[in-house]
Amino acid sequence: MAKRTYITTPIYYASGFVHIGNTYTTIAADAIARYSRLMGRETYYLTGMDEHGLKIQEAAEKQGKTPQQLVDEVADNTRALWSHLGVTNDGFIRTSDIQHMDKVAELFERYLASDDIYLSEYTGDYCVACEAFFTKTQLGEGGTCPDCGKPTRKVSEQSYFFRLKKYEKQLLDFINEHPDFIQPETRRNEVISFIESGLEDLCISRTSFTWGVPVKSNPKHVIYVWLDALFNYITALNFEGQDDSLYQKFWVDNDNIYQIVGKDILRFHAVYWPIFLMAANLPINFKLYVHGWILMKDGKMSKSRGNVVYPKDITSRYGIDALRYYLTKELPIGNDGLFSYERFYDRYNSELANDLGNLVSRTISMINKYFGGKIEKTQVRTEFDEDFENVIKSSVKDAKVEYEAFHLQTALTKVWQIISRANKYIDETAPWVLAKDESKTEELKSVMYHLAEALRISASLLHPVLIETTPKIIEYLGIKAVTNIEELSYGYEYDNIVANKVEPLFKRLDVQKELEEVMAPKEEPMDFKTNISFEEFEKTDLRIGEIIDCKKVEKSDKLLLSSVKIGTEVRQIVSGIATKYKPEDLIGKKVLVVVNLNPAKIRGNLSSGMLLCAGENEDIQLIEVPNGKSGDKVK
């Protein structure tokens, strides 16, 4: 098959902002995409947002937003974050894209027609956080979710079901015939025993909320988020669209498809996804690469534990490469890794500042000092050169094999063999001693040449991960940017002068000082939105309104339904402020209202406007204008 690569990350839940844990998946996939392009393969890298489901509907309600407002905000934020981290995704799919939703709705009808989906009654336990159903035997202690440990909810409703059971054997056969379908092997074994324990038909629709893709032939049902979400991998390629060339090229006529997933979502990708494809007679050429988790010292990263680290916490102080390097170096194949600032500083100082940074600055300054910046090949060899060359050659080969297999940690270790060998080579050859003896000039030349080669080759191999640092190394060497590493052979002919001055690539950190500053209670960075013009601002119609009536929205802890008098008009407005305000406290208050937002239905109630508030959750504050006149414009 052709030389091409399709690589995907899971699509991220749009209920909140991504932390360094989910960022791992994106950066790791980015490294593979960049590697693949450097290997001369046509590459398509897809990421995106998972925007439907109860979790997102509830998160939006809590913030007094419509789900669409929330997912738009989170998508913008995530997209900006990926661009900040240098992520080279070609596609960014959102499951609220109409073209995606239409295709999912259509596939559902096809499954109905082929009797892969049937209507029945569901009674069981549902975890909103994982958007997953569980049987009694799967539940944890006290009916909790076996995956995340949160309480599950009893759900009883008419539902559609997918005939998973029917495909049990076909799936097992497929996995047995394709030993590299799920990697690493331990994860493959887990999946096999899960299937062998027996599949149950899967509840594939819900009627108790509305934020999702409605079933065309029975719109009171919305399609289960995982069916909706999994198809992103092909709707993003315009599957069955007018021009489906991307789909044909990257999904059908391609056996180099990396689907990167964390261990928590393995079952969805290794069981449901291939079965959905089998049932629709669609090709399964992909391989699943399953990674572990970045954990904190006190376990999982979570808002409730208050131990969440966001990418910008790191990049704003230490740069993008420090984060990209730490994350890719941290996760061993198949296992979990750890994030702690102590470990981060340790790795930063010893591997980036010492091993790599010092090697670069020492080498470039020696080439300047001894040869006026010229790097020359010579016939004379030192006694260490042969071993040195061999280490480099075999490390190049090994690093590539590891990259291909999505073993990023090991790929970096292989490159570090070159870097460590080069540092040792400096000690062995002692260039400062050779420089004192004129008869050793050719040997000294050879040493400089070998060191330059070590730098050029390491920088080329590190390109997928250290995206800001490696171009600097190449620039210091004074050679052309690396655009291809297919033939990364020893023996480059340098015909240039190296840079005459080198800035340290990574400044050594004073660990004690850093820890004190990072651990000090910090002010949240101001996350201002991008500027808008005055004309754009003027489009917002802000008025003073008086709340003349208010009650709780049924079956919701967070929502209040207010009648707000704005001049001569009375509007009904839903707001997520019930955690802070009682309805009776609000009557008579004069507040700020956005009156020209498109009306939206929230929990079945039409909301025609928005009450302006500051803060969030328990700290939320309505903006009051006690002496204002109802209906007055706010400018």
Residue 348 near residue 318, CB atoms below 8 Å = yes
Query: Footprint of ligand MSP on residues 388-427 (CB under 6 A)?
Result: none
CA–CA distance from 553 to each of 61, 136, 561, 607 (Å)?
11, 32, 6, 12
Q: 């905000």: which residue's tokens? A: 73
Q: Taking phi first (over 0 means left), then psi (-120 to 50 degrees means alpha), and beta for anything else, what does residue 255 get?
A: alpha
Q: Residue 305, Cβ neighbours under 10 Å: how many?
A: 11
Site for ligand MSP in 447-486 (CB under 6 A): none
Contact string (CB under 6 A) for ligand MSP, positions 514-553, x = contact: ----------------------------------------
Interface with ligand MSP includes 56 (CB under 6 A)? no
Residue number with CB closer to ligand MSP (229 or 586): 229
Q: Which of 67, 212, 262, 311 binds ligand MSP (CB under 6 A)?
A: 262
Per DSSP, 270 falls in state I
- CA–CA separation, 150 vs 139, rounded Å? 10
- Which phi and psi (to 5°) does residue 104 adopt? -65, -45
- Of 529, 536, 448, 525, the closest CA to residue 492 belongs to 448
Question: Does position 227 bind ligand MSP by CB under 6 A?
Answer: no
N residues, the chain: 635
Q: Least distance from C-beta 463 to ligand MSP, angstroms?
A: 23
Left (φ > 0), alpha (ψ -120 to 50) or beta: where does 10 sit?
Answer: beta
Task: Determine if 229 is a binding residue for ligand MSP (CB under 6 A).
Answer: yes
- Which part of the chain contacts ligand MSP (CB under 6 A), choosing from 10-18, 101-109, 410-418, 510-518? 10-18
DSSP 530: P
- Among the listed ranges 261-269, 361-369, 440-448, 583-591, the one in contact with ligand MSP (CB under 6 A) is 261-269
Sole window of 4-12, 392-400, 403-411, 578-586 interacting with ligand MSP (rule: CB under 6 A): 4-12
Indicate which single residue of 7, 11, 199, 434 sits in contact with ligand MSP (rule: CB under 6 A): 11
| Interface with ligand MSP (CB under 6 A), residue from 24, 160, 286, 476 | 24
Amino acid present at 437:
D
Residue (50 or 453) nearer to ligand MSP, CB: 50
Is position 21 an interface residue for ligand MSP (rule: CB under 6 A)?
yes
Using an 8 Å Cβ cutoff, are 473 and 459 in contact? yes
Among 29, 204, 265, 578, binds ligand MSP (CB under 6 A): 265
Residue 553 DSSP class:
P
Q: Which one, 268 or 506, has the nearer CB to ligand MSP?
A: 268
CA-based radius of gyration for the chain? 29
Instruction: List the one residue from 30, 36, 50, 103 that touches ligand MSP (CB under 6 A).
Output: 50
Would you count residue 70 as binding ligand MSP (CB under 6 A)? no
Based on the shown chain and the rule CB under 6 A, indicate whether residue 32 belongs to the binding site for ligand MSP: no
Question: Considering the complex, what minimum distance in angstroms separates the CB of residue 74 from ligand MSP?
Answer: 10
Q: How near is the Cβ of 216 to ligand MSP at its closest, in Å?
A: 21
In the bound state with ligand MSP, the residue whose beta carbon lies nearer, of 62 and 94, is 94
Q: Are 337 and 331 a contacting pair, CB within 8 Å? A: yes
Which segment (71-79, 134-142, 258-266, 357-365) binds ligand MSP by CB under 6 A? 258-266
Task: State yes or no: residue 22 binds ligand MSP (CB under 6 A).
Answer: yes
Q: What's the rounded Cα separation, in Å, for the pair 13 and 10?
A: 9
Alpha-carbon span 278 to 234, nearest angstrom: 14
Residue 264 binding ligand MSP, by CB under 6 A = yes
Please check whether residue 294 is in contact with residue 330, taking contact to mean a CB–CB distance below 8 angstroms: yes
Q: Would you give the distance in Å from CA 546 to the centre of its chain?
A: 44
Per the CB < 8 A criterion, the answer to whether 199 and 168 are in contact is yes
Q: How far apart are CA 256 and CA 403, in angstroms?
A: 13
Pairing verdict, β 4-8 and 569-575: unpaired
Is residue 12 involved in binding ligand MSP (CB under 6 A)?
Answer: yes
Reading the block at residue 302, the tokens are: 């979570």
274 near ligand MSP, judged by CB under 6 A: no
Residue 212 binding ligand MSP, by CB under 6 A: no
Q: Does 46 bind ligand MSP (CB under 6 A)?
A: no
Mark 287-306 with x for binding to ligand MSP (rule: CB under 6 A) and - for no binding: ------xx------x-----
- Closest approach of Cβ 449 to ligand MSP, in Å? 42
Q: Quick one: which of 128, 132, 199, 261 contacts ligand MSP (CB under 6 A)?
A: 261
Question: Shortest gap between Cβ of 573 and ligand MSP (angstroms)?
Answer: 31
Distance CA 568, CA 549 (A): 15
Q: Which amino acid is at 210?
A: T
CB neighbours of residue 481 within 10 Å: 9
Interface with ligand MSP: number of residues (CB under 6 A)? 19
CA pseudo-torsion sign 14, 226, 184, 462: negative
Minimum CB distance to ligand MSP, residue 114 (Å): 22
Nearest residue by C-beta to ligand MSP? 262
Q: How far is the CB of 2 from ligand MSP (least distance, A)?
A: 26
10 binds ligand MSP (CB under 6 A): yes
Contacts of residue 292, Cβ cutoff 8 Å, sequence gap at least 6: 262, 263, 331, 332, 334, 335, 336, 337
Interface residues with ligand MSP (CB under 6 A) are 10-13, 21-22, 24-25, 50, 229-230, 232, 261-262, 264-265, 293-294, 301
